[in-house]
Structure 1
Amino acid sequence: MTNSANIQSAYKLAVEQYQSIGVDVEAALQKMQKVAISVHCWQGDDVAGFESDSGELGSGLAVTGNYPGRATTPSELRSDLEMAYSLIPGKHRLNLHALYGEFDGPVDRDEITPAHFSGWMQWAKEQGVSLDFNPSFFSHPKAADGFTLSHHDAGIRQFWIDHGIASRKIAAEMGAAQGNACVNNIWVPDGYKDSPASRKAPRQRLAESLDTMCAESFDTNKLLDAVECKLFGIGSESFVVGSHEFYMGYAISRNKVLCLDAGHFHPTEVISDKISSALMYVPELLLHVSRGVRWDSDHVVTYSDELQSIMQEIVRGDYLDRVHIGLDFFDASINRVAAWAIGTRNTLKAVLAAMLEPSAQLQQLENDGDYTTRLALMEEQKMMPLGAVWNHYCQTMGVPVGAEWLEETRQYEQTTLSKRDSALATA
């Protein structure tokens, strides 16, 4: 158990060190309490969802591993989420996919209604958690050939348009219930494995479908539509209809939120470099913070250079009120609750590190052309006592300090997760 007196002693020294470079630690921690990460529900059950007729994941998605204790019901998933939130400092959001509704019998995607998510909305109200949403354009017979909103068959396009319309109504009701906008993120897997004869036609169809789907206007205090691009996927290696350029243009021309996923670009391309450029032309950004390993493999977020750069760009540009930070990874090879805790805590550590920079001083040095001092201070900043401030923040927010959260996760695994597989085996 971490000694409370030691934490406070280290924190006091850290405050003095940060003061010496002009950083107000208390002010930074006050801002931290307002940062809400949208935690993704699909890490808890390997993107399986709760549709009675759900099949293989497919559509360019893959989850590897078979760690015991996967959530198989909404109540199990909610229990796991509550456990994860108890390990993470601050008050955060939940990002739901459409296939996570609570269905009494088969309900096709174009027939979903807010009633199918009333249990989630009630739970969110009880937990003080706000919801975000996503239509699910995958794992369905009408997406088996890899096309949805840009499909050449008008009937299939209409099915997915209707699914998108239904999803927007659900998201708007969530936003109305919680008193703040529900971000409704639109990603489709559409694309070709090999070189297409026409790139133009499917992109025209996608734009038309999106326009039809988003024709109904909603109060932006209740619903924000986001569109998410991708470079390639499994089964769409040669051509993705919804490329970065397509959605950048669509978001600008239709005044939509642009979603940048950390794993959806070339392995040498980073989203941190895109944030300030995109925000010159689109009203807001949604980030899917993930960690691609050689490809869009959605590994658990670690405290990497790119994670730090993403948060630095947001804080340095004063974009916190224009950027929605969401997570998007799924790892079934490790404890799923631990994956949530690791990824979300790392994301928050990177936000805190960015807030503890002497940003104004660094930018003034840049304006003065003193690049020597700028570089020197940036490098010295890396050795500042971030850990002492983070431990203090966790303690004051009533969550485990350091690696103490892991012991609580192990206890939860023994009391709850381990019993699920044995119950399934005897069912």
Structure 2
Amino acid sequence: MITPQVQRAYDDAKEVYLKHGINVDEILEKLKEIKISMHCWQGDDVRGFMNKDQELTGGISVTGNYPGAARTPEELRQDLEKAYSLIPGKHKLNLHAIYLDTDEKVDLDEIEPRHYKKWVEWAKKKGIGLDFNPTCFSHPKSEDGFTLSHPNKEIRDFWIEHCKRARKVGEYFGKELGQTCVTDIWIPDGYKDLPVDRLTPRKRLEEALDEVFSEEIDPQYNLDAVESKLFGIGSESYVVGSHEFYMGYALTRNKLLCLDTGHFHPTEVVSNKLSAISLFNKGILLHVSRPVRWDSDHVILLDDELQEIARELVVNDLFKKTYIGLDFFDGSINRVAAWVIGMRNMIKAILKAYLEPIEQLKELELKGDFTARLALREEFKTYPFGAVWDYYCASQGVPIREEWLNEVRNYEQEVLLNRNKSLSEKR
């Protein structure tokens, strides 16, 4: 509900921004159309429902034991619904293959669309889209750190088949929900210590990916993305799917290039890559995370780099070819709150970027008036962005400011803590 106080603050803010030719009403209409893909794996610490006793591998590590992690698809959907109810706008959900919802006992190379039917039915009811990822980790056939580039053809073929089937699941999502599914492939393949032969594994990966993508799928339903990484636990010295490999592959095979904000050198930022890659590539998938010293997948903050990413998307009008997803997992805090903080921060960053005098700043830059450019950008940091954000949240029927935290706390007491009680009672 929009209170008189929120409305007054919004009206005053509109006048301030209008002095610089910024129509706030129009910006909020644009913001409604931008969908962020919220990742399911924050809800249960990347365990999934295929083989929950399987140890996390492939450099995946979740710290913390905050109570209330989802144990079933039903509990995960319940948590997701609570999170979405506190986030303005209509968005998407990113599923990993291990989150299938079926009574059948199937392996990764046997997944079919029917194993995700309940997710599609739920998504239809909620009016959200679904994205997808094959799960190339935490499996007996990935224990030695290799999947699609494995030297053993039998194991390599297993992962090729899994990725092929993942694309068919993505196509199913797109057809059923009327929203294009982005299916992203990431593999952990690499060596802990220095290899002798860096080329041959990359040749095997290139051939495997060509086989995975051999079937044409209508891009209206499914878009393919490939994701690089600098290093991981167990692959500190060499990663087969490096940034250079996947950038070349995406450009030559007309695939989306996934840029994960934690997958580069500590001083390397994704924001500075967006404009360059956008000139040549079919499209970009963003996995927005927050590295702390390394790719540790922290909940994203409204920090400088997040704001720069949003600014690049807005200034260069890259939303038509950029798909935004979040990728973090923190088991040390309330998992629903982590989703809400991350999603709201991503949306805030985009809104804040829209509320800058872009054309005026471009003109100053072209004239070489870097003094005015700097002065104006700094002054806009204290413009009444908060009043616009509050109004947007209220107009979308979600709590303003930190009011959402009370709802999460109540949900924790009524739902999450009871899960741990029921678990201890069973024991």
State whether TM-score is above 0.5: yes
Matches within 5 A, 1:252-331: 252-331=251-330
Give the match's secondary structure for 1:273: helix
Which residue does the alignment assign to 1:416? 415
Measured after TM superposition, the shift of residue 53 of structure 1 is 6.0
Q: Distance in 2 between matches of 1:320 and 1:338?
A: 27
Matches within 5 A, 1:131-210: 131-210=130-209
1:352 and 2:321 aligned? no
Q: Distance in 1 between matches of 2:2 and 2:370?
A: 41
Is the 1:232–1:239 Cα contact (8 Å) retained in structure 2?
Answer: yes
Is the 1:54–1:139 Cα contact (8 Å) retained in structure 2?
Answer: no
My pick for the range that moved more, 91-100 or 47-56, is: 47-56
Measured after TM superposition, the shift of residue 179 of structure 1 is 1.1
1:392 and 2:396 aligned? no
Which residue does the alignment assign to 1:59? 58
Measured after TM superposition, the shift of residue 103 of structure 1 is 3.1
Which residue does the alignment assign to 2:87? 88
Gaps of 5+ in 1: none
Which residue does the alignment assign to 1:104? 103
My pick for the range that moved more, 21-30 or 188-197, is: 21-30
Task: Sort the Cα spacing of 1:28 and 1:53 in 2 relative to 1 into closer, same or farther, 3 A.
Answer: closer
Is the 1:299–1:331 Cα contact (8 Å) retained in structure 2?
Answer: yes
Which residue does the alignment assign to 1:378? 377
What whole-Å deviation, never above 9, does each CA across 1:157-206 have from its counterpart, x for those lacking one? Answer: 00000000110011101101111210000000000001100110000000
Gaps of 5+ in 2: none
Q: Distance in 1 between matches of 2:102 and 2:423?
A: 20
1:73 and 2:69 aligned? no
Q: Which letter maps to 1:395? A: A
Q: Distance in 2 between matches of 1:236 and 1:411?
A: 42
Task: Sort the Cα spacing of 1:415 and 1:53 in 2 relative to 1 into closer, same or farther, 3 A.
Answer: closer
TM-score, normalised with respect to structure 1 = 0.99
Measured after TM superposition, the shift of residue 10 of structure 1 is 1.1
What whole-Å deviation, never above 9, does each CA across 1:11-51 have from its counterpart, x for those lacking one? Answer: 11111111112211111101000010000000000000001
Which residue does the alignment assign to 1:48? 47
Task: Sort the Cα spacing of 1:326 and 1:3 in 2 relative to 1 into closer, same or farther, 3 A.
Answer: closer
TM-score, normalised with respect to structure 2 = 0.99
After superposing on structure 2, the runs of 4+ consecutive aligned residues of structure 1 that deviate more than 4 Å are none
% identical equivalent positions: 57
Give the match's secondary structure for 1:258: strand
Q: Which letter maps to 2:107? A: D
Give the match's secondary structure for 2:271: coil
Q: Distance in 2 between matches of 1:279 and 1:419?
A: 48
Give the match's secondary structure for 1:207: helix
Q: Distance in 1 between matches of 2:120 and 2:86?
A: 22
Measured after TM superposition, the shift of residue 105 of structure 1 is 4.4
Give the match's secondary structure for 1:225: strand
Is the 1:54–1:140 Cα contact (8 Å) retained in structure 2?
Answer: no
What whole-Å deviation, never above 9, does each CA across 1:295-318 have from its counterpart, x for those lacking one? Answer: 000000111000000000000000
Matches within 5 A, 1:179-258: 179-258=178-257
Q: Alignment length, in residue pairs? A: 426
